């Protein structure tokens, strides 16, 4: 019951996208927001939903150590599983092997170093991800060639990838346009979400989606729990 409930509560389930996967194989998604708004919390919810469906998740962090990232997962899973106290421990122990946390220093991340470390996991059969989360990459200095190389890697490995993209206050005004610094590489991204604090609520809007995607509802992040909600409280 707990597994089915978490799957049914996919954090982005009301965006009008079909199927369990928001991104196709090799596709890129971006979560844009100012610091502290909840980008990592949203990524972790996407990861946990994938894990309860049996998908393997590689979480790449450039800001936080492994222990802090692991704590994000524990805290958010506890909130998602709160209605099922008798089942949550067993499910947590079952899905935990489906997550691998990798850390980089921001200045040490490149497509070449990432491919090397990814191959160190895949080739010996240690861990082959279905979903990759890259949290904290600098889009101010990241060369387009690096992102293109990571895109080719994702296609070759048939994985989906989500990135967090930090922006400044003055950059989150465009509703239809893509704020800097993602603008120069927007063509590499298939789905772009903008998180912004408005009137005390954290709103999630789609700035770019698959071709033919119609109007989508606005989603919200609960400011206290950082869980995705269908409407502002």
Tokens standing for residue 137? 């990459």
User: Token pair 């990524």 is at which residue?
Assistant: 43
Neighbours of 157 (CB within 10 A): 18
Question: What does the DSSP assignment read for 131-147?
Answer: EEEEES--TTT--HHHH
Asked whether the beta carbons of 118 and 161 are under 8 A apart, the reply is: no
Q: What angle do CA 140, 143, 145 make, to 5 degrees?
A: 155
- List pLDDT tens digits, range 24-63: 899 999 999 998 899 999 999 999 999 999 999 999 999 8
User: Token pair 């079952």 is at which residue?
Assistant: 94
Q: Which domains does the chain have, with CATH numbers?
A: 2-229 (3.40.50.300)
Asked whether the beta carbons of 30 and 193 are under 8 A apart, the reply is: yes
**Which residues in the chain show pLDDT less than 70?**
14-21, 169-176, 211-217, 231-233
Q: What is d(CA 188, CA 174) in angstroms, rounded to the nearest whole number?
A: 19
- List pLDDT tens digits, range 188-211: 999 999 998 887 789 998 888 876
């Amino acid at each position: 019951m707990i597994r089915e409930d978490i799957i049914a509560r996919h954090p982005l389930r009301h965006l009008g996208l079909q199927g369990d996967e928001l991104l196709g194989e090799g596709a890129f998604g971006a979560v844009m927001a100012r610091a502290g708004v909840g980008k990592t919390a949203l990524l972790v919810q996407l990861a946990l939903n994938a894990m309860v469906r049996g998908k393997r998740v590689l979480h790449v962090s450039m800001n936080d150590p492994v222990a802090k990232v692991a704590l994000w997962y524990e805290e958010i899973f506890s909130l998602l599983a709160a209605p099922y106290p008798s089942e949550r421990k067993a499910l947590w122990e079952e899905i935990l092997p489906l997550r691998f946390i990798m850390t980089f220093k921001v200045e040490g991340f490149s497509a070449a170093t990432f491919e090397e470390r990814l191959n160190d996991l895949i080739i010996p059969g240690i861990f082959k991800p279905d979903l990759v989360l890259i949290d904290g990459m600098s889009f101010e200095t990241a060369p387009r060639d690096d992102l293109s190389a990571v895109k080719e890697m994702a296609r070759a490995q048939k994985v989906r990838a989500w990135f967090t993209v930090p922006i400044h206050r003055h950059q989150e005004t465009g509703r239809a346009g893509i704020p800097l610094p993602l603008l120069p590489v927007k063509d590499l991204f298939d789905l772009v979400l903008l998180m912004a604090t408005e009137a005390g609520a954290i709103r999630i809007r789609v700035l770019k989606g698959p071709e033919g995607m119609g109007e989508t509802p606005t989603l919200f992040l609960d400011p206290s729990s950082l869980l995705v909600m269908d409407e502002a409280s």
